[in-house]
Amino acid sequence: MIKSFKNLFFNNIGIKQTIFKNTFWLVFAEGVSRFLSFVLIIYIIKILGVTNFGKFAFALAFVTIFETISNFGLPEIATREFSQDKEIEREYPTILSFKIVLSIVALILMLIVSFFVTHDAVILKAIWILAIYALIDNFFFIIYALLRARQQMEYEAGVKILQVLLMFSVVFFILFKFPSVKNISYGYLFADTVALALVLLFVHLRIHPLNLSWNKNTLQKFFRLSWPLGIATILTGILLSIDSVIMGYFNQINEAGWYNVSRQAIGIIIMPATFIYMSFYPSLSKFFKESRETFQKIWNYYMRIMIVLALPIMMGGFFFARQIIELIFGYNFAPSIVVFQILIFLAGLNFLFNPYTLALIVSGQQKKYLCLILAGAVINVALNLILIPRYSLYGASVTALITYIVLFLLGVEFSRRFTKISVFNSDLLKSLLISFFASAAMVFSISQISLSGVNVFINMSAGVLIYFMVLFLTYKLINKSYIFSI
């Protein structure tokens, strides 16, 4: 019994078991991490109020853009290269050294540019503190790269849970004892610094000896591989955060607060897309070189899961928007409801877009991925500059949705032309139609239940149950197999 449990959750035995094990640990860790972080944000919003939360969100969005410079695509490339050839792990010290240099560059840029985006003393101090926090937080990803390449997500899960527990404890204490934008920023910085110190010690002693070196050939190789993905990462940071920065620049602080309330809720909803992406990355990287047939099967499996999750999220989220916002944040956040209804379609597109992104990256098409993200960033910045001054948070929401529609369409076309995968086939079409039918049945059922005044939790739970019942029964009837089989 104990041996079977250990084999299932702590050893890598086969493709499906390894994907299940990694997904389980990432689901568990991300679930705990995102839930506690979300609870923390809810209390920050309620205690600080819309205006001060808007200042905090503006500062955090600003540093998020620049922290991507310290990433520069290194974690993704390191994971891919280590997965394909374990001997390359000996180059890890140079990667760590490169990461530190990039972090210093990012910090200097953040400090300089901060003086040009705001003159508010509170926001400036928050930016300076959160700048250091963001770079420390981003350093965890270069550690995750090694763990993911070895497909040891159980260790990554432990790191994330330690990190969020420290963050939750420290910031929660500050919220109730010394609540202010500056003090909360200090809390984030202190908690992450302690967590990183403990994790570095653990990795050094148990996983891989940590040291620094500067090998010119290794540096050139990884720079050549990572620069397209690195620039794409920076552009992605712009895509995710430039709307809040522009609202802050135009002194729309309350609007930034309302907008980021919905963004926080959407962030929780798209959480599964992130850890499913991370679970499939090593396997797809491995079989890209070894077997085209297995590569396609695993990608199809990945895409079916995304379809099954995306459609009910879009349809159910739109229907439940008011109940979700009012239940979590209260009745004073009515402007956030329409934003949520717009962004919920972005969340669904995020699920569907990720498999195409991953196909490009593991196929070595970083430059094509860069072109894709560059197009999205240009559209996003241009539309935000046009729509935010006139329509504020609603203009930002529409811009975000339009941007993701363009990204999705380009992602499909680029994957079709530049990768080995068949981007859409009869199997995926069948999954799409079945999922749409099950989602429609879910929405119809919960709309009838809601008329009777049933509690929103019961209503949402009933919707999930109805969706998966209809999904599995329909799929089994038509396809004679289960939707989650490779």
H or E element in which residue 213 lies: none
What residues does each domain of the chain span? 2-424, 425-486
pLDDT band at 385 (very low <50, low <70, confident <90, very high): very high
> Sorting pLDDT into bands at 50, 70 and 90, what band is 238?
confident
What average pLDDT does range 194-206 have in this prediction? 87
Give me the pLDDT at residue 484, please: 54
DSSP code, position 207? I
Whether the pLDDT of residue 90 is over 60: the answer is yes
Answer yes or no: is pLDDT of 384 > 90.
yes
CA distance 208 to 196: 15
What average pLDDT score do residues 319-342 get?
84
Q: Are 175 and 44 a contacting pair, CB within 8 Å?
A: yes
Which DSSP symbol is given to 422? -
- One-letter amino acid for residue 299 of the chain: W
- Asked if 82 and 149 touch (Cβ cutoff 8 Å), the reply is yes
Name which residue leads in pLDDT, 207 or 167.
Answer: 167
* pLDDT of 5 higher than 60: no
At 364, list the tokens: 């070595």
Q: What is the pLDDT of residue 481?
A: 55
Sign of the torsion formed by the C-alpha atoms of 155, 161, 164 and 166: negative
pLDDT in tens, 409-456: 999 999 888 887 888 777 788 888 888 898 888 888 877 766 556 666
- Report the phi/psi class of residue 11: left, alpha or beta, with left for phi > 0 and alpha for psi in -120 to 50: beta
Is the separation of the CB atoms in 307 and 428 below 8 Å? Answer: yes
Which residues are CB-contacts of 445 (< 8 A; sequence separation ≥ 6)?
462, 463, 466
Q: What's residue 12's pLDDT?
A: 57
Structure token pair of residue 29 = 């860790």
pLDDT, tens digit, 9 for 90 and up, residues 291-328: 778 888 888 888 889 999 999 999 888 888 888 888 77
pLDDT of res. 132: 92
Q: What is the per-residue pLDDT for 452?
A: 57
- The yes-or-no verdict on residue 222 having pLDDT over 60 is yes
Structure tokens given for 335 = 């402007």
Q: What pLDDT was estimated at residue 431? A: 83
Q: Which of 17-26, 58-67, 95-104, 374-383 has the lowest mean pLDDT?
A: 17-26
Highest mean pLDDT among 187-196, 263-272, 363-372: 187-196
What 469-476 contacts at long range (C-beta under 8 Å, 24+ apart), as own/partner pairs, is: 470/437, 470/438, 470/441, 470/442, 471/308, 471/434, 471/435, 471/438, 474/434, 474/437, 474/438, 475/431, 475/434
Q: Are 153 and 25 in contact (CB under 8 A)?
A: yes
- Does residue 148 have a pLDDT over 60? yes
What pLDDT score does 307 carry?
92
pLDDT band at residue 395 using 50, 70 and 90 as cut-offs: very high
Percent of the chain beyond pLDDT 90?
A: 19
151-163 per-position pLDDT tens digit: 667 778 888 888 8
Q: What is the mean pLDDT of residues 141-147?
A: 81
Provide the pLDDT for residue 170. Answer: 92
Rounded to the nearest integer, the mean pLDDT of the chain is 83
- pLDDT band for position 3 (cuts 50, 70, 90): low
**Token pair 């969340």: residue:** 347
Structure tokens that stand for 6 in this block: 């250990």
- pTM here is 0.76
Residue 343 pLDDT more than 80? Answer: yes
Q: Quickly state the pLDDT bin for 125 (edges 50, 70, 90).
A: very high
Residue 256: per-residue pLDDT = 87
Q: What pLDDT, on a 0 to 100 scale, did the predictor assign at position 209?
A: 80
Q: What is the structure's pLDDT at 24?
A: 74
Q: Are 11 and 481 in contact (CB under 8 A)?
A: no
Instruction: Say if residues 401 and 343 touch (Cβ distance below 8 Å).
Output: yes
Query: What integer pLDDT is reported at residue 483 of this predicted model?
Result: 56
d(CA 105, CA 115): 17
User: Of 365, 376, 373, which Cα lies nearest the Cα of 418?
Assistant: 365
Phi and psi based region of residue 480 (left: phi greater than 0; alpha: psi -120 to 50; beta: remaining): left
The 10 Å Cβ neighbour count of residue 182 is 17
Decide if 41 contacts 211 (C-beta within 8 A). no
